[in-house]
Each structure stands twice: as structure tokens, then as C-alpha cells.
């Protein structure tokens, strides 16, 4: 959790009593920058209940990797995703969406 916390709270100087070094900040940025997370989706959609979600517009978020985000069964009803203006080079993470019929890259 340390790296993710450092990435999310960029101005944090100390975590759990241990100082945060520039190298640690750099590692956290390299690991998480551009990676789509459930927290990002929750922030964008406004809730954490994704099972009724049919359309998702996440354009322009500089996403380069959807990772395992869509492997949850909650996303099985998703039919349309707008990923325009992102940095994606692979779409393997979308393979778990059985009803996806519209994809904008």
C-alpha cells in the first residue's frame, strides 16, 4: 500500500513514520501513472456500483493500461467504452467484457 499511497498523495513527506525519498516517488509514479484503477473509475462514475453500468466514458485520462480493472464480474454488462485521447497500446484488459460492442480508442 505504501507505493500506491505515495503515488496518490504526491505532496506527502512522511508515511508511517518513514520519510519519503525522491527515488520512492519516482518508483511509485512509474508503477501507477496511467494505470486505470477501481478508485479512478469510482471517482469518474461517482459510485462504486458498476454492475448496472452499460456505458463508460473515460477519455482523456492519460490511461496507458487498464490492467485487471475489468476482470471483476461487476463489469460484465458493460457494452460501450470511450477511451479516446488516452495512451493505450494494448487492449488485452478489455477481453473480460463479454457484452462490449462499442470501443472508442
Instruction: Mark whether 63 and 101 lie in a shared domain.
Output: yes
In sequence order, what are the residues at sequence separation of 6 or more whose Cβ sits closer than 8 angstroms to the Cβ of residue 30? none
Structural domain of residue 19, as residue ranges? 1-33
State the pLDDT at residue 8: 87
- Number of compact structural domains in the chain: 2
Instruction: Mark whether 47 and 3 lie in a shared domain.
Output: no
State the pLDDT at residue 39: 86
In sequence order, what are the residues at sequence separation of 6 or more whose Cβ sits closer than 8 angstroms to the Cβ of residue 68? 93
State the pLDDT at residue 48: 87
Could you give the residue ranges of the DSSP H alpha helices within the chain? 2-8, 22-32, 38-45
Are the C-beta atoms of 69 and 38 separated by less than 8 Å? yes
State the pLDDT at residue 33: 81
Are the C-beta atoms of 6 and 24 separated by less than 8 Å? yes
pLDDT along the chain (105 residues), means of 10: 90 96 92 86 90 95 89 93 93 93 96
Are the C-beta atoms of 84 and 104 separated by less than 8 Å? yes
State the pLDDT at residue 40: 87
Amino acid at each position: 500500500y505504501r507505493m500506491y499511497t505515495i503515488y496518490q498523495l504526491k505532496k506527502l513527506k512522511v508515511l508511517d513514520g518513514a520519510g519519503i525519498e525522491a527515488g520512492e516517488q519516482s518508483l511509485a509514479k512509474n508503477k501507477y501513472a496511467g494505470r486505470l484503477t477501481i478508485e479512478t473509475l469510482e471517482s469518474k462514475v461517482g459510485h462504486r456500483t458498476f454492475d448496472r453500468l452499460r456505458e463508460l466514458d473515460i477519455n482523456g485520462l492519460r490511461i496507458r493500461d487498464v490492467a485487471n480493472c475489468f476482470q471483476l464480474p461487476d463489469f460484465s454488462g458493460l457494452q460501450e467504452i470511450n477511451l479516446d485521447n488516452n495512451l493505450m497500446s494494448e487492449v488485452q484488459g478489455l477481453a473480460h467484457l463479454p457484452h462490449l460492442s462499442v470501443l472508442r480508442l
